[in-house]
């Protein structure tokens, strides 16, 4: 197949929009739709330096909050439900670090993620947690706020 550029005038303007076409077996031109991304209002070909944007529609957020029931023991934040598309957890304690884990049991060591006092952790866009999130804090009554979507 040979590849040619076909110039098709854009509607109601004097601009010309180049499209790529290939010749079909019967000799007719077949227009190919190439993925593009807008850069400064101009369509550019998708490339490693200009990747195709991804839209993650997600789901409605469910708000939860509470306190650590027993200091020094991990507990599940979302009651055994794995967030579908991500989550956020806010450590509402004034001074104490809280630890979360969505691949195991929360603890002050290992693969747990520390959340400093008065700080919020949010999963990256497109992240799908493998499990429910467990939280650990040293103090009974440690307050937190959480959202899952």
User: Are 17 and 10 a contacting pair, CB within 8 Å?
Assistant: yes
Structural domain span for residue 125: 62-148
What pLDDT, on the 0 to 100 scale, is given for residue 14?
Answer: 45
41 and 66 in a single domain? The answer is no
* Domain of residue 73, CATH code: 2.60.120
Give ∠ CA 42-43-45 in degrees, rounded to 5.
135
Instruction: Tell me whether residue 51 is in a domain.
Output: no
Q: How many domains does the chain have?
A: 2
| One domain for residues 87 and 134 | yes
Q: Are 93 and 68 in contact (CB under 8 A)?
A: no
Which residue stretches of the chain have pLDDT < 70? Answer: 1-25, 28-39, 41-43, 45, 50, 52-59
pLDDT of residue 15: 45
Q: Is residue 57 part of a domain?
A: no
Is the same domain home to 28 and 93?
no
- pTM for this model (two decimals): 0.62
Q: Which residues pair with 32 in a beta bridge?
A: 20
Whether 30 and 66 share a structural domain: no
What's the pLDDT tens digit per position in 12-50? 444 444 555 566 667 766 665 566 666 676 667 677 776
Could you tell me if 66 and 138 lie in one domain?
Answer: yes
- pLDDT of 16 reads 44
Task: Note the pLDDT of residue 76.
Answer: 94
Measure the CA–CA gap between 98 and 59, rounded to whole angstroms: 26
Q: According to the model, what pLDDT value does residue 123 have?
A: 93
74 and 115 in one domain? yes
């Amino acid at each position: 197949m040979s590849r040619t550029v076909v110039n098709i005038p854009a509607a109601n303007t004097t601009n010309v929009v180049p499209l790529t076409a290939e010749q079909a077996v019967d000799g007719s031109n077949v227009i190919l739709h190439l993925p593009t991304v807008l850069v400064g209002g101009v369509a550019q070909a998708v490339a490693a330096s200009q990747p195709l944007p991804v839209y993650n529609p997600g789901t409605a957020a469910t708000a939860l909050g509470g306190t650590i029931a027993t200091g020094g023991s991990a507990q599940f934040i979302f009651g055994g439900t794995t967030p579908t598309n991500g989550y956020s957890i806010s450590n509402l304690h004034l001074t104490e670090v809280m630890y979360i884990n969505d691949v195991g049991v929360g603890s002050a060591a290992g693969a747990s993620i520390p959340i400093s006092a008065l700080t919020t952790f949010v999963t990256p866009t497109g992240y799908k947690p493998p499990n429910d999130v467990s939280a650990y804090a040293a103090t009974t009554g440690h307050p937190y706020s959480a959202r899952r979507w």
